[in-house]
Amino acid sequence: MLITLKEAATRLQAANRILITAHVQPDGDAIGSTLATMQILRAMGKTAEIFIDDSVRRNLQALPHFEQIRRPADGEHFDADLLLVLDTSPDRIGNVRKLTDAPLLNVDHHVTNIGDGYALYVETKAAATCEIIFKLARELGEAITPAIATCLYTGIATDTGFFQFSNTRADTLAIASELITCGVSPHFISEQMEKKTLAEVIGLRDALNTLKIYYGNKVAGMTLDYATVSKFDSTEGIIDEIRVIDTVDVAFLISERAPNVCRVSMRSKDVDVAKIAARLGGGGHIRAAGCTLKTTLKDAEKILVEAIGKAL
């Protein structure tokens, strides 16, 4: 059920105990939006807690109040009257859904989220969910503190490739400008997000050694086995190393996370990769999308390359 931003704000105002979550394999937008929303709701006098069913990469742990994020334990229950899902559809929150039977409110910016059976505010033109949370704070009449601004700016900056991607709009830059006025230090965030360990740099070398080109140089892909993936705190951003190849329209990264579990990330310059991901059980944006394939690394590569070929 699609709702308006005002209706989303009304539901938050009516709730007292709110469980906040985002998708597994959380990125800057997922963590930034959950941390900012938690602070906004607590300023309103609400009980608000964050549960994420996955580890969070080291770079994001510098964000204000990161230590407040919890991972659900087996058999744990949280007494909530609202479950707030950010930056994803509810099917990607893992075991967090088992924590509560509370009604669900979903706030997202992904075009593949259709709100089937739950209240959804989706703004597909927004570059990041953090853009929406900025507007939601204004709708709620809450101030943007430096800590909240830092979390929101991080989500917007990372989801736009630090304002390089095609999803960067005038509104995106205007909101980022306001957040800087609220107390953000852009250089601090960029330095934190760029940090890599020596093992990760070595892992990047190994990843580039798997590079393959398909369909007349229009597609580039890398496949990382579990041993290589283990060298990374996060594989986010690796795909950008091959996305920039001048002849390439679609770039992909397949990473083996467990036996017969492969995570796929895609980026494009023209092709709608959200449609490709949706056909494979995933979703995302027109130019950035992903999915999980429960098969071997070799078969995952075959399935994905064939799907991309059909789209081309």
Q: In total, how many domains does the chain have?
A: 2
Q: Same domain, yes or no, for 169 and 124?
A: yes
Please check whether residues 33 and 110 belong to one and the same domain. yes
Query: 165 with 259, same domain?
Result: no
Decide if 294 contacts 258 (C-beta within 8 A): no
Is residue 197 very low, low, confident or very high in pLDDT (cuts 50, 70, 90)?
Answer: confident
Q: How far apart are CA 242 and CA 187, in angstroms?
A: 25
pLDDT in tens, 103-155: 999 999 998 888 888 999 999 999 999 999 999 999 999 999 999 999 999 99
The residue written with tokens 């989500």 in the block is 155
**Residue 185 shares a structural domain with residue 231:** no
CA atoms within 13 A on the CB side of 126: 24
Q: Which of 149, 173, 193 is the last residue of a domain?
A: 193
Question: Span 37-49, mean pLDDT?
Answer: 98
Tell me the pTM: 0.86
User: Is the confidence at residue 286, as pLDDT, over 90?
Assistant: no
Mean pLDDT rounded to a whole number for the chain: 94
SS3 of 25-80:
CCCHHHHHHHHHHHHHHHHCCCEEEEECCCCCCHHHHHCCCHHHEECCCCCCCCCC
What is the pLDDT at residue 113? 86
Mean pLDDT of 12-20: 98
Bridge partners (DSSP) listed for residue 85: 21, 106
Look up the CATH number of the domain holding residue 86: 3.90.1640.10
Same domain, 245 and 114: no
pLDDT mean over 279-284: 88
- Side-chain half-sphere CA neighbours of 225 within 13 A: 5
Could you give the CA distance from residue 267 to residue 211 in angstroms, rounded to a whole number?
15
Residue 39 has pLDDT above 80, yes or no: yes
Instruction: Give residue-wise pLDDT tens across range 199-233.
Output: 888 888 999 999 999 999 999 999 999 998 888 87
Query: What CATH number corresponds to the domain at position 235?
Result: 3.10.310.30
Q: Are residues 232 and 142 in the same domain?
A: no
C-alpha span between 168 and 126 (Å, rounded): 9
> Looking at residues 282-303, what average pLDDT do you find?
92
Alpha-carbon torsion (292, 295, 296, 302), positive or negative: negative
Give me the mean pLDDT over the 56-75 stretch. 93
Model confidence over 221-278: pLDDT tens digits?
Answer: 999 999 988 888 778 778 988 999 999 999 999 999 999 999 999 999 999 999 999 9
Q: What domain range includes position 103?
A: 5-193
Average confidence (pLDDT) over 78-102? 95
Q: For residues 178 and 208, state if they share a domain.
A: no
| 25 and 59 co-located in one domain | yes
Same domain, 143 and 35: yes
Q: What percent of the chain clears pLDDT 70, i.e. is strictly above it?
A: 100
Do residues 187 and 207 both lie within one domain? no
Do 184 and 270 contact (CB within 8 A), yes or no? no
| Residue where one domain finishes, among candidates 161, 193, 225 | 193
Same domain, 161 and 292: no
Give Cα separations from 191 to 144, 182, 199, 205 (angstroms).
Answer: 23, 19, 18, 21
In this prediction, residue 254 carries a pLDDT of: 97
In degrees and rounded to multiples of 5, residue 212 shows phi and psi of -130, 150
Residue with tokens 């994420």: 52
Burial 117-149 (b: 16+ CB within 10 A, else e): ebbbbbeeebbbbbbbbbbbbebbebebbebbb
* Long-range pairs for 209-213: beta carbons < 8 A, 24 or more residues apart: 211/242, 213/248
Tell me which of 149, 167, 193 is where a domain ends.
193
Domain co-membership, 150 together with 232: no
